[in-house]
Chain A
Amino acid sequence: MASHLFCGRVNLNILREAARKDLREFLDKCSGSKEHEVEKMFTLKGGRIPSAAVKNIVFFVRPRLELMDIIAENVASEDKLHPRDFHILFVPRRSLLCEQRLKEKGVLNSFTNIDEYILDLIPYDGDLLSMESESSFRECYLESDQTSLYHAAKGLMTLQALYGTIPQIFGKGECARHVANMMLRMKREFAGSHTQILPVFDTLLLLDRNVDLLTPLATQLTYEGLIDEIFSITNGYVKLPPEKFAQKKQGEGGKDLPTEPKKLQLNSAEELYAEIRDKNFNAVGAALSKKAKVISAAFEERHNAKTVGEIKQFVSQLPHMQAARSSLANHTSIAELIKDITTSEDFFDSLTVEQEFMTGVDTDKVSTYIEDCVAQKDPLIKILRLVCMQSVCNNGLKQKVLDFYKREILQTYGYKHILTLKNLEKVGLLKPQSTMRNNYPTIRKTLKLWMEDTNEQNPNDISYVYSGYAPLSVRLTQVLARPGWRSIEEVLKMLPGPHFEERQQVPTGLHKKRQPGENRTTLVFFLGGVTYAEIAALRFLSNMEDSGTEYIIATTKLINGTSWIKSLMDSPEENLP
């Protein structure tokens, strides 16, 4: 079922199994028996819980006050004649504040069990862990609420309990520093309670999202990145317009088209997807047609099967081949859907402007393209992404330029967005130019963020994921592995927040003896979110010959520019009649 978790260097299934065990234990406690048939699952909402013939109702919730009010309402409106047992499972941690709230609402005693389900890092793929904490970036950088960082530190402790102490910790940024401090403190607190395990990870790299604000703003150009940009991947699934997926069977040409969106799971368990997800979209077509040839060749094999043994062998491979064929059909359809967008003039125009900004062209002036887009009332998020990008690439905009953009946006999309603009300013995505000179070109040059000769088909550098732009965050990771951060001290100082290195004592006897040629394993933790393109870039580094390092990625949330900006928006609901 979770085969995709096995494939990586680090077996993340251990984490998954540990989490499953905890859940089973809780359910055992609720039902008082060993059988836990989950009858139904409902999304939390006010009013009465839909009826279901069950004895136990378990609330799975994040510890947030507003959710407590909903739960209280649910419990209060329960049918008094047929009472059911209520239980709360807080994910990932119990909260006194929430329990206090339930008490105030007078329902705390209605719960048979109140417990926590410590699930900080959720395994998403063989090399990917996410906390799925949507508002983490907003909380940390806008609201100075570091709750998610505490959970991150706890999650890292769980990880170390299962995979051994990580001997080296590197980090860049305020949040990274905070997480590292908490980890070191917790390490001291739990001294001796951990079983001794040979360390699986050699290095942990903690990166603040605000060290690299640029990357998520850029449009991702990998296959998976584009799927996310256009259709948005949620919890490993994507919903696609159904037209392209209609089953075309012979003889029933005029059948109704399906109206329900097509839902597809996307992870590396699907062989073809694993192969193409991280390719630049321009290389996907070729890969798909190659695959098509291989598959049809495989089906052709049947003509060569002469003996009974050969036929038997062919038949035994059929299910696999059929799965491969349907997978190919799906991805061909997705690729077509994406191609409709990427070949549009709109897409190309905005990409051009993005690339101009990233290469430092005209970043100090009002961009006519943005102006036009506002005039056309293009989606607000698109405008915000571009303006923020220009600001980041220019290390702030001239006051006049900034005010112009702001006025344009407020007049066109409504004054209520003033709060959103302020939020963007607060987190540093938008800012007026200070007296300091624009250091972005220096950073770009030193870290080689723009590569002239990017090869999209057979990449030799991470810049392929944005067709020219090499994500800063990943560049930092790459430099850390070789030749080390000492070589870029100057640039590190220009980026916000401290950079640091910590070592954790590993008991003697647990020091890893590396075989010659054996790679190091680094866990890169993006605090505040990571994009699929960045993940692709890190996977590229892992797979590069003689890279010497393999990467496992952890994050507070999988993001893209749109979802990220959206999380920072503050648009009060209008209440006028």
Chain B
Amino acid sequence: MAFVTANWNPLGESFYRKIELYEMGWNLKDGLRDCLVAAAPYGGPIALLKAHNRRSPSARPQLEIFSSSGLPLASFPWKSGMVKQLGWTVSDDLLCVQEDGTVLVYDLLGGFKRHFSMGNEVSQSQVLETKIFHSPYGTGVAILTGALRFTLATNIDDIKLRRLPEVPGLQGAPSCWAVLTQDRQSKVLVASGPHLFILDNTACTPVTPPGLSPQASSIVHMCVSFSYKYLALLTDSGHVWMGTSNLKEKLSEVDTKIKGSPKQMAWCRRPKSQQPSAVVMWDGLLLVVGECKETIQYHLEDDSILVPELDGVRIISGTHHELLQEVPGACEEIFKIASMAPGALLLEAHKEYEKESQKADEYLREIKEQSLLSEAVRQCVEAAGHEHEPETQKTLLRAASFGKCFLSNFPPEQFVSMCKDLRVLNAVRDYTVGIPLSHTQFKQMTLQVLIDRLVYRKLYLLAIEVCRYLKTPEYQGVSRVLKHWACYKVQQKEESDEVIAKAVSVKLADAAGISYSEIATKAYESGRTELAIKLLEFEPRSGEQVPLLLKMKKSPLALSKAIESGDTDLVYTVVMYLKNELNRGDFFMMLRNQPVALSLYKQFCKHQEQETLKDLFNQDDDHEELGNFYVKASYKEQRLEARIAHLQSAVDEYYKAKNEFSAKTTEDEMRLLRFQRKLEEEKDEQLVGFSLQDTMTTLLSVGLHKHAEQLYKDFRMPDKRFWWLKLKALAEKEDWEELEKFSKSKKSPIGYLPFVEVCIKHHNKCEARKYVAKVSPEQKVKAHLAVGDVEGAAEAAIERRNESEISTVLSRCSATTDHLLVERLNRAKATVPKKGSSITFTDGTLQSRRLLQEQRSERKRGYKLKRSCRP
């Protein structure tokens, strides 16, 4: 396989190879001469501006965009100002930096996107030089102005202009400069004669590269590696100094023996590179320098440009497109002449096997004896990834597959994914697509980005095929591509709304997770509102439709879609939008037709805008809610008059709502408040705010019986509650005399057991006894027991012939009790008729009551207690 190494050149320990990627498809008369050229990394597009520095207004230069294979993507005459620099962003947009500091942004098909300015200072002093760079934050622009100052924007999508400090002693344009990214900050490295400075936001620091050849009197060129980690300097003495970009370490220095100023210099490195190396280009000459004294020289026939890549340098000339790189380790191992590496042996074995030669076995044995077969397979797979020619890839993969047969348990993933990756890569490297991506670059760039790039080029079909082939989840793959297609489709002016809407819906029907609202937004942005509305109807997520509908001023539809989505926050958003957009009347009208929105808005007002809430109730003639509103408001008032005024409004509203109960109750409340205040003034007793009950308790406790009595009558308080109240209040005061008077005032509506209990509670057994006799027969047993009179209880129980009561008394009989009494009780118990037998139940209620009573005694086992008869 000698031909593989035919384009290899040794440099020190390793080899460099130059692979032809394409023969350029463009037909340039003068090649790249007098052209402003910018080629995007990762095999991106190439922009060309011919004769850009001719100042005559009549001759408009042509701006052309080509794929990496030289196929035209766009071409248009340049009508704006003088262009200083072209460059590409990370998302394949073209940046054209004009002399006055205006930057114009075009997409890769020549569509104008936007423009921005690099600031007043730049436009005043004009652009002298400019560099477009990539930072972790995106694509940046650095400008050297006519005033010899640097202005920097690190991310053009979020422009924050930074003017860097002055470089001391700078008289004319510096000999060279570069943008570095260090410590998440973009800095500029400037060479002014023999001096080097680093400019950051705050300072200009002089620096010295360690070990720079003393013959040098100035630095004529510099370049930073793709990863920003390394720096190469070319001195006027023809020395190339290579080191780390923080200028702390020198890696090598090589004398090129050429003193002329080069056209371009670029790092030629790859991840896991064996040595640092850079490529320097002069007219007609290309030089690769590494660690050793020797260099590799290539002759250039044509004007060319260098495009640094992650793993090499691309060289584009008027006719050819080549890749120069250090030969990757795996390839070197396998293809180096007389290599005995396992991969090389495996390849050989496979070759012999194809020839049906028994030598295959010998080679295999040799690998297996060293147990290196899996290593051999791995090498072959890896090397296949680094090879550009499909034939070579196939040969290597076949060898790997052959080796795999002799291995058990060899994980297949690496092999399988390499096959798939290569298939995709070969497809995009195709001349017609023209993305010469290496495997290393592909892995760094990720599939997602590759799909995006295909989409930017409107290669929708290929993008979809790639997604399907790599089984990308539909959501991130096919659906995304289709969405972009549809966004493109809706901008085609020549087709009618119906046709487009139909085409889009047919094509997108089965795709999962399509955002129709995004497509509709695109349609709307290109002035097709009707089409946008049509497309929105396909959007299954009603929530997604809302923002666009609002933008299109379709607010009623937006509101109902928001409600449909169930997302209340979205409804609020629309409501708030409408509130600002519409006049109050229309706004309320619209809410009225949407009850869900209305109640949400009411919720909002309840917490935020009380007055609006009132207006809403007023509009709806909702007197009931208005009443409630005033009641609530009344409690916020400090002053009693204001409070009563609010309550009066509430009363009026309640009457209007025909809610007599609420009206009357609120009137009562007002009456109570007035009464309380009056009494407060008269008797100096804290009362306002108390409930009726508490007011009366207070009155009774301070002996204002008359007033309490008055309230009792005025508010038609039920007798029972009044009796309880007075009973408790008197007992609290231990006013036993008054209590007795009270008990005799008329027949107690609550019976007399409470009297007994209340006295006991206040430890006055003597008083309690007074009331036992008055207790009704049903409660007598309990009353007797309460005062501790077991005999009395027994008498009563026996008289009542009630089984459970007898049991209760029995349970209270202690050992000290007369056992005669116990006997009597037991006897009585035995003679008590069984419940239910002597009574016939006639109706259902009684029936269930009987059942209930039985259950109750059942439950007694559980809760160990039985509720005595209630009054």
Contacts and interface: CB of A to CB of B under 8 A. Distances in A.
Interface string B78-104: 000000000000000000000000000
Q: Helix, strand, loop or mixed for chain B's interface? A: helix
A411 B718 CA distance: 10
Given A189-B540, A191-B540, A348 B867 contact: yes
Interface SS of chain A: helix, strand, loop or mixed?
Answer: helix
Given A145-B568, A406-B661, A572 B632 contact: yes
A147 B724 contact: no
Interface string B684-716: 000011111100000000000000000000010
Contact of A371 (B513, B595, B720): B720
Interface string A130-148: 0000000001000111110
B247 interface: no
A296 interface: no
B260 interface: no
A97 B572 contact: yes
B666 interface: yes
A367 to B, nearest CB: 10
A314 interface: no
Contacts of B662: 418, 422
A97 B573 contact: yes
A106 to B, nearest CB: 17
A150 B567 contact: yes
Indicate the member of A369, A415, A419 with the most B CB atoms within 10 Å: A415
A576 B871 contact: no
B856 interface: yes
A24 interface: no
A360 B661 contact: no
Contacts of A359: 848, 851-852
Contacts of B603: 139, 143, 145
Contact of A146 (B541, B564, B568, B720): B568
Nearest to A376: B724
Interface stretch (B393-401, B486-494, B635-643): B635-643
Q: What interface size band does chain B fall in?
A: 35 or more
A251 B261 CA distance: 98
A144 B635 contact: no
Given A191-B540, A406-B661, A418-B631, A343 B870 contact: no
B638 A576 contact: yes
A368 B871 contact: yes
Contacts of B573: 96-97
Interface string A344-375: 01011101100110011110000011011011
Contact of A150 (B566, B608, B665, B849): B566
Interface in B639-662: 640, 643, 661-662
A246 interface: no
A410 B638 CA distance: 22
Interface in A85-118: 93-97, 100
A225 to B, nearest CB: 15
A188 B599 CA distance: 27
Interface in A315-358: 342-343, 345, 347-349, 351-352, 355-356
B863 interface: yes
B628 A412 contact: no
Interface in B844-861: 845, 848-849, 851-852, 855-856, 859
A452 interface: yes
B640 A348 contact: no
A575 interface: yes
A361 B848 contact: yes
B606 to A, nearest CB: 8
B622 to A, nearest CB: 13
Contact of A419 (B475, B564, B632, B724): B632
A413 interface: yes
Interface in B792-819: none
Nearest to A100: B576
For B474, B564, B661, the residue with the greatest tally of chain A CB atoms inside 10 Å of its CB is B661
B640 A576 contact: yes
A410 B667 CA distance: 12
Given A96-B573, A191-B540, A419-B628, A348 B721 contact: no
B747 interface: no
A343 B573 CA distance: 55
B541 A189 contact: yes
Interface string B507-524: 000011100000000000
B51 interface: no
Contacts of A362: 845
A364 B604 CA distance: 40
A155 interface: no
A293 interface: no
B607 interface: yes
A345 B867 contact: yes
A145 B599 contact: yes
Contacts of B604: 65, 97
A146 B570 CA distance: 12
Interface in A128-181: 139, 143-147, 149-150, 153, 178, 181
A359 B845 CA distance: 10
Given A66-B607, A146-B568, A574-B689, A415 B865 contact: no
24 contacts: A63-B569, A66-B607, A97-B573, A145-B603, A185-B564, A343-B863, A343-B865, A345-B865, A348-B867, A349-B867, A359-B848, A371-B721, A372-B870, A374-B721, A375-B721, A375-B724, A375-B750, A377-B693, A403-B661, A407-B665, A408-B718, A411-B691, A415-B669, A419-B632
Given A193-B512, A343-B863, A411-B717, 14 more contacts: A145-B599, A146-B568, A178-B566, A182-B566, A191-B513, A282-B863, A348-B866, A372-B724, A372-B870, A375-B725, A406-B661, A412-B691, A413-B691, A415-B668
